[in-house]
Structures are given as C-alpha cells and as structure tokens.
C-alpha cells in the first residue's frame, strides 16, 4: 500500500477537520489538503522531469508546505529525502548528491547557499524554493492519480543518519516500514482521536515527522509553531490553545520545557502526551518532568534503521510507582514493541541471559531495507537477519531493556568495563549539575580513564570535590571520574545528541 493512502482516507473521513496549522491559525482542512496534494504531485513531476522511484530532497523548515510536499512525493510514487534544515549547506549537498536526488524543495533561507554548491550535486536538475511564486504555480497542474502501483517494499523515505561518526548513511525506509511504524504507534504508544493535535517543535525531517504519520492517519491536526522550532514559552502557549496535543521531544527539550520560567503559571491541561527519545533521559529529570506535567510521558527507543520502534515504555509504566523495581524501570528503555523481536547478544551473536550486557539487536517488519548505495555497511549492520544497533544493554527478568551506552562509548579501564551513562546518572543527582557527559581518555597504565564534562547551573557553587564524594558514595571507586571539566555547554548535533566524539577529540588535542 502507498503510504499516501493515509491522507486520502483522512480527507474522505475527516475532511472538515483541521489538517495543517501554524501557531493558532488553521491553514487547511483535510479535504483541502486532499485536493491540493495531487496537484502538487503533478507539478513536481513536471518540474523535475521525474519518474516514479526518483528521489526528491526536502531541505525545509517546519511548515504546512513540508507536509504537502512529503505526501505529494508519495502520491506520485517518488521517494522523499528529508534533510534537517539546520545542517550546513555543504552537508546537505553531500546528502543530495549521495541520494542522487533530481529535485530539491528548499526553504528560502537555504536556497542561495545550496545553489552555490550546484557543481557538487551533478544529478540535481532543479531547486524549487517553497516561498516563491514558482512553488505556488505547481498547484495549478492537473491532479495526478495516486500511484497505486507502489508496492510495500518500494522506497518511501531515505533517512540519513545523524553522522556523529563520519559521513551519514541513508537508511532505506519502505512504504511497509512507514505503515508498520504508524500501526505500532496505535499498538504501543497512544490512542489518537480526530480532535487531537501534534505540535511539531522538533524537525519534521526526523522523529516528529515520523510521528506525524499516525496523527494524520487519524485525522488529527498537524501544528507548526510560528517560530518553526522549539521555544518553551511559545510551546506552552500552543499547549494552552490546542486540545489533545502531543509532541515528540528529545530529552533536552523536556528538560528545557520543565525549567522554563513560564511553566509555573502555564495551563497544561490540553497536554496529552510527550513522547521522548533520541538520547538518554536521566531518572532525576524524568521524575521532575512527571511532577511538573503529570502522567503524560512515554518513551521510545529506535533508530533511523528501525524508525521510532524497537522498545518503549508507555505512560502507565511511567507512573507504576507500586512496582518494586519502579526506579530501575524508569531508567530503562522499556519493553520490546509489539511486532519487534529484540535480543542482547555477545560478539558471536549468541543470545545472552538476563542481566548480562551485550549488543542490542532486533528484527521485524520495521527494520530498514538496507543502506542506500552502501552494501558493505548493509551487510555488517543486518548480518544474520538481525539489525545490529551498536547499542549496549541488558534485559531484566521482566523484559525491560536497560541501555548502557553505544558500544563505541564504553570505557575500558584496567580491564573493567565502565558505562558512561551509569556515572552520568549519579552526577546528575547533584542539584547544581545541569548537564554532564562522561568519556574515556587514553591512559598509559589503565588503558583509559574517566573524564566528566559538567555544565553547572547558573550561580551554583558545585566543586569537583563535592562531585567526587557523590560518586564515591554511589558507585565503585574505579568508575569515578579522574577529572571534572566544567564547561558552559556540551557540543550537540542538530537533533540534540551530545557529540562525545568532539569531547574525546578535545582531550586528544591536549595530549
């Protein structure tokens, strides 16, 4: 089934409902969106001289246009290549070239820089700017029929990984993958009603866009903040306005929201669900978020290679305080999603028993078809029929998966494995610590030693001595940091993930 069918069903069943909104203003109903998308599909096909299966890049800020372009591509049988608009133009150009995209739909702020790099994208035939008259003219084309010849295994979304270690890879997500992710949301995350909304503060090119699909499938409103991104005060204002609103947030966004000055007087009664993922959510932050917002948080663990769908922890699990291992569960990544098999394995891919740490692997209909134009990486990542995530973790007796770290982030000191997250969890218990990231530094005798980069809260008086005492009171002596580096901010990528590679590089340059 073509994933664009979701829109045509929504336009038929919930045609009068708001489909696309900016701030507090509705821009289009589902019936209007259902009429506009087939025209845009025809216009894009003609503008790029495209044929079904061609790739089209989207380098746009969050906007209603984004959703219409995305569904127009699928309606026409094309594959979308959503690219984070916060990337440098040269990074976006590399992705466009690697994807062999023939057309790019871009925001005006990106057009000039990207056009200047045209020589680096030889297969790109045309750049269309969303805010210009040329884009509006595309809607005047005769409507294109839905590409019903699309099969479930056809490419729909070329999802480029964040590239924290080298060049990003394009995970090939099929129409089946997107439909499975949509249905799995209903099975494991939340119920959605046509009167609900999803507010896209995070990039539509990433998780927020993926979770826009189940909301669109149920006729819910897709809301884009006027800023196009995440501003805590603006977000709280939109929560007060739109009923049944949900969000996909990175953990850093949850942290910023609950510490916003406006939160004390904000009306959050319309808030339905915050789905968080994409990085570690520390237990202390999670407890504070639930105290401020109520039982409104759900966790997902996934990757671009298995979008948003490996394990999860629903809202009820978050507030099951009567369970004897409640705190341990809050620190976990939840249980395997309904239609996904998840294992923890050793270096030879043998399943490990409860409590033992190994690599997390999974299989199911959610797993990507492979990496675009990268058979070696595909063979390595999908070996033996399982997606090898590169994440280290262990299961408890109830099937809850606790992630330790990426395998490359594990620190080996004196022959002992140290998982940075365990140390970070302890340091974050100190009330004067805002953020922390722990990495390993080469050591002549021990192999590696533990270094903690700490962001203190403004006006605090936290010291290395206090943090050392905290560690000695809670974890083994060999795990405690040998040095505390106090910094103003941690380096992060455009999705809010801390770039430990940069921290390690900084330490190496100092040697």
Enumerate residues 6+ apart whose C-beta is below 8 A from 157.
Answer: 79, 80, 81, 82, 173, 177, 178
Enumerate residues 6+ apart whose C-beta is below 8 A from 350.
Answer: none
- Over 80: is that where the pLDDT of 218 sits? yes
Tell me the pLDDT of the chain averaged across its residues: 93
Per residue in 477-490, pLDDT (tens digit) is 888 999 999 999 99
More confident residue, 91 or 275: 275
- Dmax over CA atoms of the chain, in Å, equals 72
- Over 70: is that where the pLDDT of 82 sits? yes
Helix (H, G, I), strand (E, B) or coil at 133: helix
Helix spans in 354-476 (H): 375-381, 420-427, 464-472
| pLDDT (0 to 100) of residue 447 | 78
More confident residue, 403 or 76: 76
Helix (H, G, I), strand (E, B) or coil at 231: coil
- Over 90: is that where the pLDDT of 497 sits? no
Per residue in 407-461, pLDDT (tens digit) is 678 787 876 678 788 899 889 999 999 999 999 998 877 778 999 999 999 988 8
Q: Report how far residue 318's alpha carbon sits from residue 297's, in angstroms, rounded to the nearest whole number.
A: 7
Assign 164 a pLDDT band (cuts: 50, 70, 90).
Answer: very low
| pLDDT (0 to 100) of residue 162 | 64
CB atoms within 10 A of CB 426: 24
Q: How far is CA 79 from the centre of its chain?
A: 20
Structural domain boundaries of the chain?
5-395, 414-509
- Over 50: is that where the pLDDT of 319 sits? yes
Helix (H, G, I), strand (E, B) or coil at 466: helix
Task: Give the DSSP letter string of 20-41.
Answer: EEETTEEEEEHHHHHHHHHHHH
Q: What is the pTM of this model?
A: 0.85
| pLDDT (0 to 100) of residue 407 | 65
Token pair in block for residue 332: 């976990």
204 exposure class (CB count in 10 Å sphere: 0-12, 13-18, 19+): buried
**Helix pair 232-241, 251-258: axis angle to 10 deg:** 80
| pLDDT (0 to 100) of residue 415 | 64
Enumerate residues 6+ apart whose C-beta is below 8 A from 98.
Answer: 170, 372, 373
List residues bridging with 28 in a β-sheet: 20
Give the mean pLDDT of 232-259. Answer: 94
More confident residue, 459 or 181: 181
| pLDDT (0 to 100) of residue 88 | 82
- Over 80: is that where the pLDDT of 511 sits? no
CATH topology of domain 414-509: GMP Synthetase; Chain A, domain 3 (3.30.300)
Decide if 37 contacts 20 (C-beta within 8 A): no
Kindly report the CATH class assigned to 5-395. alpha beta
Going through 314-377 in order, the beta strands assigned E by DSSP cover 335-336, 340-345, 358-364
- Over 70: is that where the pLDDT of 5 sits? yes
Helices H, strands E: what count in the chain? Answer: 17, 24
């Amino acid at each position: 089934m073509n994933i664009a069918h979701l829109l045509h069903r929504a336009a038929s069943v919930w045609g009068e409902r708001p489909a696309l909104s900016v701030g507090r203003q509705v821009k289009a109903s589902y019936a209007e969106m259902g009429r506009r998308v087939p025209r845009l599909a025809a216009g894009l096909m003609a503008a790029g001289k495209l044929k079904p299966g061609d790739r089209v890049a989207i380098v746009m800020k969050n906007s209603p246009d984004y959703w219409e372009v995305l569904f127009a591509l699928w309606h026409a049988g094309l594959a979308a290549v959503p690219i984070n608009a916060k990337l440098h133009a040269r990074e976006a150009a590399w992705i466009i070239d690697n994807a062999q995209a023939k057309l790019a739909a871009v925001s005006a702020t990106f057009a000039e820089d990207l056009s200047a790099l045209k020589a680096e994208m030889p297969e790109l035939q045309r750049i269309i700017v969303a805010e210009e008259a040329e884009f509006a003219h595309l809607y005047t084309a005769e409507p294109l029929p839905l590409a019903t010849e699309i099969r479930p295994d056809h490419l729909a979304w070329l999802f480029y990984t964040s590239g924290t270690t080298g060049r990003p890879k394009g995970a090939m997500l099929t129409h089946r993958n997107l439909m499975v992710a949509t249905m799995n949301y209903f099975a494991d995350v939340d119920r959605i009603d046509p009167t609900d909304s999803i507010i896209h503060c995070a990039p539509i090119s990433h998780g927020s866009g993926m979770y826009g699909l189940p909301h669109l499938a149920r006729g819910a409103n897709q809301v884009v903040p006027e800023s196009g991104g995440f501003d805590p005060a603006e977000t709280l204002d939109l929560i007060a306005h739109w009923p049944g609103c949900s969000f996909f947030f990175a953990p850093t966004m949850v942290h910023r929201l609950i510490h916003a000055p406006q939160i004390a007087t904000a009306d959050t009664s319309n808030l339905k669900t915050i789905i968080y993922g994409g990085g570690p959510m520390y237990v202390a932050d999670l407890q504070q978020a639930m105290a401020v917002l109520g039982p409104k948080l759900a966790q997902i663990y996934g990757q671009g290679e298995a979008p948003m769908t490996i394990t999860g922890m629903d809202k009820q699990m978050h507030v099951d305080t009567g369970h004897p291992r409640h705190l341990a569960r809050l620190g976990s990544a939840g249980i395997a999603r309904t239609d996904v098999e998840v294992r923890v394995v050793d270096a030879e891919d043998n399943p490990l028993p409860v409590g033992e740490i190994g690599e997390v692997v999974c299989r199911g209909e959610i797993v990507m078809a492979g990496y675009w134009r990268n058979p070696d990486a595909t063979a390595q990542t999908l070996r033996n029929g399982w997606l090898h995530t590169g994440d280290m973790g262990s299961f408890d007796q109830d099937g809850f998966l606790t992630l330790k770290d990426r395998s490359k982030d594990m620190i080996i000191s004196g022959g002992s494995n140290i998982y940075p997250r365990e140390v970070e969890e302890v340091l974050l218990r100190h009330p004067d610590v805002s953020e922390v990231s722990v990495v390993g530094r080469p050591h002549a005798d021990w192999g590696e030693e533990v270094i903690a980069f700490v962001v203190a809260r403004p006006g605090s008086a936290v010291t290395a001595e206090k943090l050392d005492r905290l560690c000695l009171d809670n974890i083994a002596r060999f795990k405690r940091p040998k040095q505390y580096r106090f910094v103003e901010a941690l380096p992060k990528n455009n999705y809010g993930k801390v770039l430990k590679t940069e921290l390690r590089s900084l330490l190496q340059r100092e040697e």
